[in-house]
Amino acid sequence: MPTIGDLEREYVEKHPTSKKLFERAQNCFASGVTHDARFAKPFPIYAANALGGKKWDVDGNEYVDYVMGHGTLILGYGDERVVNAFHEQIPKAIHMGTSTELEIEWAELIKKLVPVARAGFVRAAACGSEAVSLAIRLSRIYTRRSKIIVQAGSYHGTSAATLLAYHGPPFGLYNTRGITSGVKEDVVIVPSNNLAMVEEQLTKGDVACVLLHCNNLYTKAYVEGLRKLTAKYGAVFIMDEVISGFRYAAGGAQEYYGVIPDLATLGKVPGGGAPIGVICGKREILDFYAFKDEYWNSFIRIASGGTWNAQPLCIVGGIATMKVVLAERDDIYPRLYRIGKRLVKSFNDQAEDLGVAALATGLPLGNPTILDVHLFNRPVPAEKMYLWQAGPATFDDYATKAGFAAGGQARYVTHLAMTNNGVNSFRGTHFFTCVKYLPEDLDTTEAAFGHTLRALKENALVASVT
């Protein structure tokens, strides 16, 4: 079984051009990357092209791909219907800065698919982060309140307010430099699955909105409880569906859980691979974008631009993708769920057979279209497994969960072994699936799981289970 040094040498030998490109990149970007998730040691791979469920790097290495445009491409790379939409639009105009019929068609598809949008309005934005920021502002105007509630460990994009909750435990302390005290005072961080703590904050009467990061571990009862509590106390319930939208189900987590929020934010899929953000929901909230009388326009409405809002090249791929989802939803989602279940089972069966303390889980939990791999420094007792199956419910739970995580070397070896064996995942342990994998792609992935688990075991980087 290869040592860590052997895995590193194999990685370097397979990726000489990527190594040279990384050396160039370090003169252009801090640490040589344009996104935190693309930073990897000894250097990241540089992609050249992708098709279906595969990706090829600049050295000609082939990968089964689970990055999928950060979860965007549920139809896989190069779907002809999506590609043709871009090709047809480019000669007409990439950007005209005017209204188009395309934007109406785009919004009508969102209204057909997303439950909260059906009787409501849609607003375009440039990206998911922008959509979340705008949704928070809308909630503050609508309720005339300032505070927001965010679940611990949730990522809602690059907004200063929501970033407070992302890193931890402890939450609200890591990576907070440059975020002013005024912003911090208006953010309340709560553990997930704890309705009592949410209600305690809501009773104070100063909460504008509760955000739910939908592609995270929650019980259905928690999602339903948030809907009831926000309605009871007059706060806006925002479901952040930038990733879960069109991925959990055709109507996103709203459809999957059967819970309709006041506002939802979307991204990724409605752009079909191009930059996009969406806020959709109740008309009386989104009506603050409407033009009315002079006083309203000057002092009440949200004045908001956005160079890329629903410009043709930003939405034609999304139109094509949503049309496919609308027509083929009864085939797409069962297939995604089958793929996710197979991969979760394969990883866990192999870990059990090898006696390795590691676990794969999926989101949504019962029908995964996203997979996470967890590596442990000691066996997890049965009474603590709820931390990975239902999610934490107290701040102590987050600390307990973090205490089981294997060290950085385990994640490093996972990245090396998976890459060396032809699988490209997001941050090494995160997998977004698509519908285009061939049987041999899943075979390759399962074999890579085995190589990785054996490398982790032989190098004593995770605990053994006897």
Residue 466: its pLDDT value, please?
78
Residue 40: its pLDDT value, please?
95
Domains of the chain: 4-76+329-458 (3.90.1150.10), 97-310 (3.40.640.10)
Assign residue 89 a region (left: φ > 0; alpha: ψ between -120 and 50; beta: otherwise).
alpha
How far apart are the C-alpha atoms of 119 and 111, rounded to whole Å?
8
Show the DSSP H helices in 292-432 as ranges.
Answer: 294-299, 312-354, 386-389, 395-403, 408-420
Element (H, E) at 360: strand 358-363
Q: How far apart are the first and last CA of the chain?
A: 20
Residue pair 370/213 in contact (Cβ under 8 Å)? The answer is no
Residue 304: its pLDDT value, please?
87
Residue 393: its pLDDT value, please?
96
Helix, strand, or coil (residue 408) = helix
The contacts found for 412-415 with CB under 8 angstroms, 24 or more apart, are 412/4, 412/41, 413/4, 413/7, 413/452, 413/455, 413/456, 413/459, 413/461, 414/373, 414/375, 414/452, 414/456, 415/40, 415/41
Residue 189: its pLDDT value, please?
97
Residue 451: its pLDDT value, please?
97
Per-residue tokens: 409: 């070397």
Length in residues, the chain: 466
CA 200 to chain CA centroid, nearest Å: 29
Whether the ω angle into residue 44 lies within 30 degrees of 0, i.e. cis, is no
Mean pLDDT of the chain: 96
Residue 137: its pLDDT value, please?
97
The amino acid sitting at 222 is: Y
pLDDT in tens, the chain (466 residues): 789 999 999 999 999 999 999 999 999 999 999 999 999 999 999 999 999 999 999 999 999 999 999 999 999 999 999 999 999 999 999 999 999 999 999 999 999 999 999 999 999 999 999 999 999 999 999 999 999 999 999 999 999 999 999 999 999 988 889 999 999 999 999 999 999 999 999 999 999 999 999 999 999 999 999 999 999 999 999 999 999 999 999 999 999 999 999 999 999 999 999 999 999 999 999 999 999 999 999 999 999 889 999 999 999 999 999 999 999 999 999 999 999 999 999 999 999 999 999 999 999 999 999 999 999 999 999 999 999 999 999 999 999 999 999 999 999 999 999 999 999 999 889 999 999 999 999 999 999 999 999 999 999 999 999 7
CA 238 to chain CA centroid, nearest Å: 16
The amino acid sitting at 45 is: I
* Burial state string for 355-372 with b = 16 or more CB within 10 A and e = fewer than 16: ebbbbbbbbbbebbbbbb
Q: pTM score, two decimals?
A: 0.96
Helix, strand, or coil (residue 405) = strand
Backbone angles phi, psi at 62, to 5 degrees: -100, 140
Q: Residue 70 CB: number of other CB atoms within 10 A?
A: 16
Q: What is the pLDDT of residues 149-205, one digit of tens each?
A: 999 999 999 999 999 999 999 999 888 899 999 999 999 999 999 999 999 999 999
How far apart are the C-alpha atoms of 391 and 10, rounded to whole Å?
37
Residue 1: its pLDDT value, please?
74
